[in-house]
Amino acid sequence: MARREEAFERTAMVHARDLLRFARRLTRDAAEAEDLVQESLLRAWRGFEQFEPGTNARAWLFRILLNVLYASHRKERPSVTLLAAASDLPSAGSSAAEYVEVTDALDRLGAEPRAMLLLAVLEGFTCREIAEIAGVPIGTVMSRLSRAREAMREMLSTPARPAGERVAR
């Protein structure tokens, strides 16, 4: 048992902070994000014998997290929104207004395109890894990313839409 715990600590727990950051951006609620990560790590622990050593543990954990999120919102797809973390504050070269505009545009994307953008741009996953995480073909990931980026370009080049209006589904 101690060997399994050590292996889980080395393999999965090192990614807990990344999972929490991602969950906070998705849920926009710290408590919900913590619950989501806790349930995801519990499921990872229970299914740890199914994890293949040498494969991408981080992608495996993000997939579990998305599965837990979607399962908890089975009746209706989650209204995933972006939460600005302290590390996401505007850099010296950007204005607060630009930051708010980009954050607002991300909030108006549909849940799946937003998740794809967060995984690619903020978490640094490749299209192949995102396909594995989302359980969709790589071509689907590439087209969703393309549409999400185009929707972002459109929203950032035109006046703001009314609050709550979603695009790029």
Residue type, position 130, single letter: I
Co-location of 48 and 99 in the same domain: no
pTM to 2 decimal places:
0.69
Co-location of 33 and 91 in the same domain: no
What domain count does the chain have? Answer: 2
Is 80 a domain residue? no
**Mean pLDDT value of segment 41-66:** 93
Co-location of 131 and 91 in the same domain: yes
Has residue 163 got a pLDDT over 80? no
* Torsion sign (Cα): 105, 109, 113, 114: positive
Domain that holds residue 115: 86-157
Place of tokens 């607060």: 96
Q: Among 43, 22, 28, which residue's Cα sits nearest to residue 125? A: 22
Q: What was the pLDDT predicted at 47?
A: 94
CATH number at residue 150: 1.10.10.10
Has residue 161 got a pLDDT over 80? no
Co-location of 93 and 44 in the same domain: no
Has residue 133 got a pLDDT over 70? yes
Place 168 in a pLDDT band, splitting at 50, 70 and 90: low
Place of tokens 């990313």: 145
